[in-house]
């Protein structure tokens, strides 16, 4: 019998050469649009998130927001947003990190939750792990206790897991 993860895997739409040549993009839009599939997605991820015992979920822009919001509803957690530069108002802490070519920057509002709050980071796809690593660093820098990270899909051939500095769970693994 196939597991929920096996069944969900079939709903990703693979888009070759997006957003640039050589990348196969794993699009979660077909999972979102079907209410049964989306519900299964959230219910399958919920135990992974619950195991880290956080009170707040940090969603990574942008698809991480959708997952974090749905999971927070199921688990009665709060949500905070890890966003790209200059999107968040108010008191913001920024973290700049290196990419293969150039750098990127993420931000979080630093006065939304108290220092010491237990946080679980949520995203859709773990590729190189750079975004997750940077998010953990950013959230830790504002005093939060990052209990773990959860991604819906892990592209195992990119070995992003080795970059992630907190406990990590992924529901679906694919070797590209």
**In sequence order, what DSSP letters do the residues of 40-95 get, joined into one string?**
HHHHHHHHHHHTT--SEEEEETTHHHHHHHHHHHHHT-EEEEEEETT---SSEEEE
Binding of residue 160 to ligand AMP (CB under 6 A): yes
- Our finding on whether 110 is near ligand AMP (CB under 6 A) is no
Name residue 145's beta-bridge partners: 118
What values do phi and psi take at 128, rounded to 5?
-80, -15
Report if residue 126 touches ligand AMP, rule: CB under 6 A. yes
125 binds ligand AMP (CB under 6 A): yes
Binding ligand AMP (rule: CB under 6 A), the pick from 128, 140, 156, 169 is: 128
C-beta of 4: minimal distance to ligand AMP in Å? 20
Nearer to ligand AMP, 125 or 139 (CB): 125
Question: What is the spatial distance between Cα 99 and Cα 47, in angstroms, rounded to a whole number?
Answer: 32
Q: Binding residues for ligand AMP, per CB under 6 A?
A: 23-26, 60, 63, 123-132, 160
């Amino acid at each position: 019998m196939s597991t929920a993860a096996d069944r969900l895997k079939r709903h990703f739409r693979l888009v070759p050469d997006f957003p640039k040549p050589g990348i196969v993009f794993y699009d979660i839009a077909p999972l979102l649009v079907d209410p049964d599939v989306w519900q299964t997605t959230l219910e399958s991820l919920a135990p992974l998130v619950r195991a880290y015992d956080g009170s707040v979920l940090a969603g990574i822009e942008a698809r991480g927001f959708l997952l974090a919001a749905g999971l927070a509803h199921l688990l009665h957690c709060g949500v905070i947003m890890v966003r790209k530069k200059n999107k968040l108002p108010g008191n913001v802490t920024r973290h700049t990190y290196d990419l293969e070519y150039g750098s990127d920057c993420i931000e979080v509002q630093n006065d939304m939750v108290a220092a010491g709050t237990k946080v679980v980071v949520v995203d859709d796809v773990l590729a190189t792990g750079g975004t997750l690593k940077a998010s953990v660093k950013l959230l830790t820098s504002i005093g939060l206790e990052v209990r773990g990270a959860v991604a819906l899909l892990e592209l195992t051939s990119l070995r992003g897991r080795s970059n992630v500095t907190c406990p990590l769970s992924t529901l679906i693994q694919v070797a590209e």
